[in-house]
Amino acid sequence: MQLDSLTVLNAERAARRACILVTDLDDGTQRVVREDEVAADPLADLLKSRLLSGKSGLVELEGRQVFLTVQVPPVRLVVIGAVHISQALCPMAAALDLSVSVIDPRTAFATPDRFPGTVLVTQWPDEAFASAVPPLDRYCALLALTHDPKIDDPALVAALKAECFYVGALGSRKTHAARVERLAQAGLSPQQIGRIAAPIGLDIGAVSPAEIAVSILAEIVARQRKSAP
């Protein structure tokens, strides 16, 4: 790999931005296409599909062998609320290779016994995002599951402002209507609020915590694979 290409790849990785290294195997030339450059690239459709799949591979373009090295930041899943749904969801998310952290200031719920092997942050969301948890970004999915506006709302505001690719909130339509009013009063636009998946998860008729967890993760995967730069 050429040094200048490696330098760009390392910089994009450190900044948690996606990019693709395009290598012409016939003549050895390389170029890096950053995420915000994909739409204007001559190979836009091909590069978009590769970013969605997250998979590198060999392609043939006009008789030339070209290798596409895809570099996509790992998805971080931030769960607000150490609740029963979270308990079911965390091991499932780990099986999907998602990096998971659970934030809940209620230390009676956020315990290692209830969440073995999961990163627990026993702080209020605002405090957690300011210190213990890495900054939210567009490669994060945030789930608000406590039913407590004092805990959920600040996390939702932070996630929407950070443009997380998925923001979901537990609750009925009536509960969400009240939530929408509060978030509007907090200064969020209708467009921002409209990005919240609520009721959370795909409509599969889920009843138990485990079924709800499945519906949430399915919706996250769908959002991840069907969105493009």
Determine the pLDDT at residue 5: 87
Exposed (0-12), middle (13-18) or buried (19+): which is 164, by Cβ within 10 Å?
A: buried
**Domains in the chain, number:** 2
Determine the pLDDT at residue 228: 46
Is the pLDDT confidence value at 224 over 90?
no
Q: Is residue 144 domain-shared with residue 65, that is, in the same domain?
A: no
Is the pLDDT confidence value at 29 over 60?
yes
Q: Is residue 48 domain-shared with residue 117, that is, in the same domain?
A: no
Q: Is residue 93 domain-shared with residue 57, that is, in the same domain?
A: no
Domain boundary among 71, 92, 116: 71
CB atoms within 10 A of CB 81: 23
Q: Is residue 21 domain-shared with residue 84, that is, in the same domain?
A: no
Q: Is residue 97 domain-shared with residue 65, that is, in the same domain?
A: no
Q: Is residue 18 domain-shared with residue 81, that is, in the same domain?
A: no
CA atoms of 196 and 102, how far apart (whole Å): 19
Judge contact between 92 and 214, C-beta under 8 A.
yes
Q: Is residue 36 domain-shared with residue 80, that is, in the same domain?
A: no
Model confidence over 47-106: pLDDT tens digits?
A: 998 988 888 999 999 889 999 999 989 899 999 999 999 999 999 999 999 999 999 999
Q: Is residue 60 domain-shared with residue 141, that is, in the same domain?
A: no
CATH number of residue 154's parent domain: 3.40.50.720
Determine the pLDDT at residue 212: 97
Domain boundary among 44, 71, 98: 71
Range of the domain at 142: 76-226
Strand order through the sheet with 196-197: 119-121, 99-103, 76-80, 140-144, 166-169, 196-197
Q: Averaged over 1-27, what is the pLDDT?
A: 90
Judge contact between 184 and 176, C-beta under 8 A.
no
Judge contact between 143 and 93, C-beta under 8 A.
no
Contacts of 31 (CB under 8 A, 6+ apart): 5, 21, 22
Is the pLDDT confidence value at 229 over 70?
no
Model pTM score: 0.83
Report which of 13, 20, 72, 86 is spatially closest to residue 225, judged by C-alpha positions: 72
Is the pLDDT confidence value at 135 over 90?
no
Model confidence over 171-182: pLDDT tens digits?
A: 999 999 999 999
Determine the pLDDT at residue 142: 98
Q: Is residue 63 domain-shared with residue 89, that is, in the same domain?
A: no
Q: Is residue 102 domain-shared with residue 213, that is, in the same domain?
A: yes
Q: Is residue 124 domain-shared with residue 216, that is, in the same domain?
A: yes
Determine the pLDDT at residue 227: 64
